[in-house]
């Protein structure tokens, strides 16, 4: 038995499902997970000594690849001074400034520890600011595991086929309205009916948790116009897209300015982090400046700040995103060529360095089309890729991430592997 299997057997006795986050259990691909020993650049190494080219990248944060020497150096330097103080540090200010310089809609920002915390807090703030209770979200978008946002969520909920979650009181989710992604007509109808009760619309500007689903042309712009007109706050959940799609996130890429933005992943350089920010007129309501309460012992943790600062400094250099785009385009185009040459129904969706190979005949534009994919075929593809040393996300409903550490050779090897995988599907 492999060491990974042994560890997984033991882990299941102590940790629910053997994992600390559901998708990691590889349930939907009919396998047991690899336990990872280390990561270096584009590769991860399991406890049995096997190497894999990694397209999970810790689910998005590792845009520079694993253990980037400059990030490791910054962490070592910070570590020597202590790990947490529960008191302000200059590092928090430095990261806040970097975020604001990059993202035009951020006038103030509050650091938290995860994307879940960021979205929960942003929604509390939106409700307090508007004095309204209702929240619009979109089917298949995933905004962390806060009670009111689990309704028709993507990511692990989609992977495991769970529509919501027991333990979430019906009374609580009666304020959540979940609508089809990319369907502006549905949004207009709801706003016409109950616009005055709606505090905010929260949206992934590029959906990344039902697989990658880009916004249709005009979708984000129309959301902005409608919300503006009705005094509803627009919240962009850029936990995945922030610093992934461009240095200023998806909002800079599409040139749409939300009222509030949620961040995470890349801004912590691989350490636990989250942040939410936006117009200072709104942000000023957060305690202790205002009375909307939100707090956290490890918020603004110096190690997370240091890793985030170093990551952003590297990303801000000229040409970084052009390089990433060029490499990403190569992989997506080659995958499209493979798809074209077979009669297996498949579709490659991508924006920049995030993408998904959907097993479906036709385009994926929302949760219903995503759910219509052949997940059995996806599992086969996943297993075939793994056999050839490619670590693809273990779910049809997650994004694959390309990093700056992926070399041309890595990408060419991945294309070869995909070519072989398609032969046996």
Q: Annotated catalytic sites, by residue?
A: 142, 237, 265
Residue nearest to ligand HOZ (CB): 21
Confirm or reject binding of residue 398 to ligand HOZ (CB under 6 A).
yes
CA dihedral 324, 330, 333, 339 (to 10 degrees): -120
Among 342, 327, 338, which Cα is nearest to 400's? 327
CB of 305 to ligand HOZ, least distance (A): 21
Compute the distance between CA of residue 219 and CA of residue 179 in angstroms, rounded to an integer. 13
Question: Among residues 156 and 274, whose Cβ is nearest to ligand HOZ?
Answer: 156
CB 189 → ligand HOZ: shortest distance, Å?
Answer: 29
Q: What are phi and psi of 400, to 5 degrees?
A: -95, 140
Write the CB contacts of 350 (distance below 8 Å, at least 6 apart in sequence): 212, 328, 332, 356
Indicate the residue among 54 and 398 with the shorter CB distance to ligand HOZ: 398
209 binds ligand HOZ (CB under 6 A): yes
Q: Does 3 engage in binding with ligand HOZ (CB under 6 A)?
A: no
Instruction: Provide, rounded to whole angstroms, the least separation between the CB of residue 344 and ligand HOZ.
Output: 26
CB-count exposure of residue 58 (10 Å: 0-12, 13-18, 19+): middle
Distance CA 312, CA 244 (A): 11
Cβ 45 to ligand HOZ shortest distance, Å: 18
Q: Does 311 bind ligand HOZ (CB under 6 A)?
A: no
- Scan residues 217-276 and list those touching ligand HOZ (CB under 6 A): none
Structure tokens at 217: 């042309």
Which stretch, 8-16, 21-29, 182-190, 193-201, contacts ligand HOZ (CB under 6 A)? 21-29
Which residue, 191 or 267, is less far from ligand HOZ as judged by CB? 267
Mark 35-74 with x for binding to ligand HOZ (rule: CB under 6 A) and - for no binding.
------------------------x---------------
Task: Name the burial class of residue 344, with classes exposed (0-12), middle (13-18) and buried (19+) by CB atoms within 10 angstroms of its CB.
Answer: middle
Nearest-approach distance from CB 274 to ligand HOZ, in angstroms: 13
Nearer residue to ligand HOZ within complex by CB, 24 or 336: 24
The residue from 6, 10, 21, 192 that contacts ligand HOZ (CB under 6 A) is: 21
Residues contacting residue 389 through CB under 8 Å, at least 6 positions apart: 50, 51, 52, 53, 413, 417
Binder to ligand HOZ among 3, 5, 24, 216 (CB under 6 A)?
24
Contact flag: residue 155 with ligand HOZ (CB under 6 A): yes
332 is a site residue for ligand HOZ (CB under 6 A): no
- Residue 369 is a binding residue for ligand HOZ (CB under 6 A): no
**Structure token pair of residue 58:** 């810790």
Dist CA 235 CA 238 (whole Å): 9
Q: Site map for ligand HOZ, 99-138, x if CB under 6 A?
A: ----------------------------------------
Q: For residues 191 and 275, which CB has a smaller minimum distance to ligand HOZ in the complex?
A: 275
Nearer to ligand HOZ by Cβ, of 129 and 367: the residue is: 367
Q: How far is the CB of 281 from ligand HOZ (least distance, A)?
A: 32
Q: How many residues bind ligand HOZ (CB under 6 A)?
A: 8
* Residue range at the interface with ligand HOZ (CB under 6 A); choices 17-25, 41-49, 158-166, 381-389: 17-25
**Minimum Å distance from CB 82 to ligand HOZ?**
27
In the bound state with ligand HOZ, the residue whose beta carbon lies nearer, of 22 and 248, is 22
Buried b (16+ CB within 10 A) or exposed e, 134-150: bbbbbbbbbbbbbebbb
Nearer to ligand HOZ by Cβ, of 127 and 265: the residue is: 265
The contact set with ligand HOZ (CB under 6 A) reads: 21, 23-24, 59, 155-156, 209, 398
């Amino acid at each position: 038995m492999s060491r990974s299997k042994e560890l997984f057997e033991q882990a299941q006795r102590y940790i629910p499902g053997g994992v600390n986050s559901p998708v990691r259990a590889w349930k939907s691909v009919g396998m047991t997970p690899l336990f990872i020993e280390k990561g270096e650049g584009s590769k991860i190494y399991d406890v049995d000594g096997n190497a894999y080219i990694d397209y999970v990248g810790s689910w998005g944060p590792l845009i520079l690849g694993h253990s980037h020497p400059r990030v490791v150096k910054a962490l070592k330097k910070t570590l020597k001074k202590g790990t947490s103080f529960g008191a302000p540090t200059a590092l928090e200010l430095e990261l806040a400034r970097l975020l604001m310089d990059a993202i035009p809609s951020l006038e103030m920002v509050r650091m938290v520890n995860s994307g879940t915390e960021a979205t929960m807090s942003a929604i509390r703030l939106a409700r307090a600011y508007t004095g309204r209770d209702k929240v619009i979200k979109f089917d298949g978008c995933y905004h962390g595991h806060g009670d009111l946002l689990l309704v028709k969520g993507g990511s692990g909920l989609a992977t495991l086929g769970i529509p919501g979650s027991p333990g979430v009181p019906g009374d609580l989710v009666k304020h959540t309205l979940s609508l089809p992604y990319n369907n502006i007509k549905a949004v207009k109808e709801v706003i016409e009916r109950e616009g005055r009760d709606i505090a905010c619309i929260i949206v992934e500007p590029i959906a990344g948790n039902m697989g990658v689903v880009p916004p249709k042309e005009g979708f984000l712009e129309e959301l902005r116009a409608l919300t503006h007109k009705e005094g509803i706050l627009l919240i962009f959940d850029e936990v995945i897209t922030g610093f992934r799609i461009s240095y200023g996130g998806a909002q800079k890429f599409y040139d749409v300015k939300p009222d509030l933005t949620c961040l995470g992943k890349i801004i912590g350089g691989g350490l636990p982090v989250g942040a939410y920010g936006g117009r200072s007129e709104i942000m000023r309501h957060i305690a202790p400046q205002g009375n909307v309460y939100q707090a956290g012992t490890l918020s603004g943790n110096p190690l997370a700040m240091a890793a985030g600062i170093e990551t952003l400094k590297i990303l801000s250099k000229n040409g970084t995103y052009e390089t990433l785009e060029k490499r990403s385009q190569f992989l997506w185009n080659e995958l499209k060529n493979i798809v074209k040459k077979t009669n297996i129904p498949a579709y490659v969706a991508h924006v920049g360095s995030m993408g998904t190979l959907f097993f479906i005949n036709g385009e994926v534009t929302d949760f219903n089309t995503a759910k219509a994919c052949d997940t059995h075929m996806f599992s086969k593809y996943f297993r075939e890729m793994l056999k050839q040393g490619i670590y693809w996300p273990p779910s049809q409903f997650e994004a694959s991430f390309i990093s700056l550490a992926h070399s041309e050779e890595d990408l060419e090897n991945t294309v070869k592997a995909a070519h072989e995988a398609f032969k046996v599907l």
